[in-house]
Structure formats: C-alpha cells, structure tokens
Homo-oligomer: A and B are copies of this chain.
Amino acid sequence: MQKQFSPSRPCRVEDVPHWDSETDVVIVGFGAAGSCAAIEARRAGAEVTIFEVAAAAGGSAALSGGEVYVGGSGGTSAQRAAGFEDSTEDLFKYLMMAGGPGADEARVRVYAENAEAHFRWLQEQGVPYKGSYLPGKWLEPLTDDTLVWSGSEQAWPFSAAAKPAPRGHTAQHDGWSAGKVLMEKLCGRAEALGAAVHYSSRALTLIVGKGNEVVGLVVRIDGEPRYVRARRGVVLAAGGFIANRDMVARYAPGALTCDTQVSAGNDDGSGIRMGISVGGAAIHMDQFFATVPYFPPESLVKGIFVNQSGSRFINEDAYHGRIAHYVLRQPGGHAWLLVDEGIFGRPMIHRDMTIAAVGESWDEVEQELGMPEGALVHTVEEFNRLALEGRDPYFHKSADWLRPLTKPPFAALSYCKGDLPSHAFTLGGLATRTEGEVLNADGEVIPGLYAAGRCACGLPRWGEGYSSGMSLGDSTFFGRMAGRRAAGR
C-alpha cells in the first residue's frame, strides 16, 4: 500500500478537502534561498508563509563557512580596499569556466553583472563585513577577516583565461562557520519584514490545478496534513539531496564514496522530488561539490599528488574541490600527497591523516607504496629539477607553490579510497528560468512553481569548477529573484 502523501505524487486541487490557510507566496525551506526569497517577496508586497522542516532557521547554510562568491563591476568595496580591481568580464569568464560544459550563459551573465550590487544588498540586510583581506590559502577565514581567495582564480587553466581576484566574501565572525552570522541576519530580516515562519513543518506534496499549475502545498504540522493555498506561487528552497543515499545512488553515484555530508541533515531531495512530480526537469544531477581538505597548513600545497603509477595528475594549487574530483577518479581510487620535511604539517581538519609511507629517499617511499620501479623517483626528480627553475610545464602549477621536495624524511599522505576524508553536497537540481520559474523537460514554465538554492540547478553545476561561495552566492541571489518573481505573478 502506498502511503497517503508522497512528494512524488502531487495532490490534485479537486482532492483538497478544505483550505487550512491561504497566502500569496509559500516558501519551502528557510535557508539561504528561502530567506532571500521571503525578503524580496515581502518587499514586493506579497503575503509570505515559510515552512521549515527543522526546528530552527538557517538550513545547511547556517553550518557553512558563509562565503558568498561576488565581484565584478570594478570590484566590491572589500576587493577595492584590498587593491583588487575585478571587472564584470573577468568574473563572467571565470564563472563560465567554472560552470563547465553545461554552463548557463544567461544565468552567469545576470549574476556577473549584478554580483557587486548583491553584495551591497547583503550589507543592507545587516550582514556584517569587516572588509579586510586575508591573504594565503584557506578553506575559510579563521580570523574575523572577510575577504579571501576561495577558488581556482590564480590556478591554471582559470588564471590563463580570467584576471584573478579574491571573491570569497564571508560575514564577520571569529573562527569556523560564519554561515550562522549570515543566516541569522537574513532570516531575522525576513521575519522582521513580516514573513510568517512555521518550524517543524514538513512539506508533504504540491497541490496542482487542472492545467498542472501549482496552487498550493500540503504540509504536516503537529502530525496533521494542512492544505495551504498559494495565490501566487510556491518557491521550493529546500536544499539538495546529499542526505538521501537512495537519491545519491541513482543520480550522483560518484558521490557515494564521500563520507561526510555537507548538510544540516535535511537535504533529502524532497524539494527536488516535488518539482519532478509535476513534470519539472532535474538537470546535471550527477554533479556534486567534493573536497579533500588537504590544507591548511598551506605549506602542503607545495606537495605533489601522485597516483598508483607514480604520476602527477593536477596542479596542486587548484581549488581543493577541483583536486578532490581528480583524486576521486584516479585508477583504483589511489592517490597520495608527497611531502618532505620542509613542508610537512598535519592537515588542520584531518590531523589523523593516514601516512602511507615514510623514507629517507624517494626510492624507499616508492617501494613502500608498491609503485612501478623508478616511476615515483622519476616523477619527483623531474618535478624538483623544474621547480628549481620555477617551472611546471606538465601541470602549470604557479611558481609561488613550486619548491623541490629534497629535504628528508619524505612522506606520502594517503588520499586513497578508505583513508580519504571527503565532504560533499549535490549541485544538480530543477531546471529553472533565470527568474526562478521551474521548467519542464521541453523548457516550458510550470505555472506557479519556483525554485532556488540547491533545489535548483544554478550557477554551480560542475564539481570540477566549483569555488567556495558559489552555492551561497547563487542561493541568495537567485533566491531573491525567485521571491520577486513569485510575488509579481
């Protein structure tokens, strides 16, 4: 027997026994996309009701580093204060490369042209930015500085295509997880503007009219289904699906080996499934952000990654999430980071990292790893010889990070399957117009349905191109657009 409600089976309006409540815009999820959608919908004069499955506001964004990827228009105030000019065209080019072969040019264009204004908007909502720049390579600032390098901007091939600038803007906060500051401000603002928020409220399924238009939502509150009419539309802002292992297996099996979910726990794909249930197209569902957070300390960036053939496979100064995808697909799931005494340090967030081999010579390390005879030694010798000349013609690692690995003892840190500390969240989701309307597989609008954040397939849609701050940049920016659009229907 099927259970009464399923996100995959919409409720027909004829089957609604009565309306428990009515509003203009229903928003599912009170995280980054949902809060921004609510702010804009309220500002456009719409009545807004938010249903959040958790007992508190903020969604997965509240647990994140809180970075927002913005720039262009000559630079944000923070970029300019730190001496970085950032043209819209450079931001555009970087985002197009980052979007990979499926990049959405229209979406990238509107974002690049408005990202700097979006940063000012975030400030207007009360999000605090100290405006100070923290140089170096970090996962997120552990000081209260608020501008960092958060992607592959300075790394090949991105650096060859677009002038680099740091674009990771984090809310001011000492230590990890500035996302909670960001989300306190955005959620607080949405409530202050009069959005009604219901917590511990699970969206059960969409309600559709005769033309398949979305007219409301069934939501479970206090154990009972409530029928909520949405006069203007429903905005799905319920996150991705990394917490749903069945969906990961079916849609993004490459992420199955990642052991840590970047999620507050409710990224169960129910928002995406509701969209699919009314004919919404879910696209790029195989793509995911992954990271092997192998630094800080940043000295480790001077190490080199090798596979079981003893060959390098990437410029190690690329974004850690790009490196993760290369690591994950090495033959047999085997990869090691080679370091010498001069750069060794335990990775800050995986201090118990497995050290697979140690030796007084690279030959010893090679033997311990069971590689083909001479393979590793040749790779390191060649790397060392060229590093001395400040060159990496093989992988184009920037000279800043080139240093011969000549100081024994030598070691190989394991990034092999099993030892691999890897963190992931999903990037695929519902196809939408730039303005937020959910599209069916023929690219037609499904009336009354909107999506943003990781429910939608937005700006970040290619794991190899992801940079920190792209997901929150996308969620907050396109969340606003979806809220405005729904309110104006």
Contacts and interface: CB of A to CB of B under 8 A. Distances in A.
A279 B210 CA distance: 16
A187 interface: no
Interface in A139-155: none
Given A250-B281, A378-B378, A6 B394 contact: no
Interface string A437-466: 000111110000000000000000000000
A100 B253 CA distance: 9
Given A256-B101, A278-B279, A431-B250, A441 B7 contact: yes
A9 B212 contact: yes
Nearest to A156: B331
Contacts of A181: none
Interface in A244-273: 246-247, 249-251, 253-254, 256-257, 269, 272-273
Contacts of A272: 441
Contact of A12 (B210, B246, B253, B431): B210
A222 B157 CA distance: 54
A2 interface: yes
A214 interface: no
A77 interface: no
A178 interface: no
A121 interface: no
Interface stretch (A282-290, A338-346, A354-362, A471-479): A282-290
A277 interface: yes
Nearest to A102: B253
B442 A8 contact: yes
Nearest to A431: B250
Contacts of A157: 332
Contact of A394 (B210, B246, B372, B444): B372
A267 to B, nearest CB: 15
Contacts of A212: 9-10
Contact of A9 (B249, B251, B382, B444): B444
Interface string A153-185: 000010000000000000000000000000000
A393 B378 contact: no
Contacts of A372: 386, 393-394
27 contacts: A6-B440, A7-B442, A8-B279, A8-B281, A8-B440, A8-B441, A8-B442, A10-B212, A101-B253, A101-B256, A102-B249, A246-B443, A247-B441, A250-B431, A269-B441, A272-B441, A273-B441, A277-B440, A277-B441, A278-B279, A283-B285, A284-B286, A286-B287, A309-B394, A374-B382, A378-B378, A378-B382
Given A250-B284, A282-B441, A378-B382, 7 more contacts: A10-B212, A101-B257, A250-B281, A273-B441, A273-B442, A276-B441, A374-B382
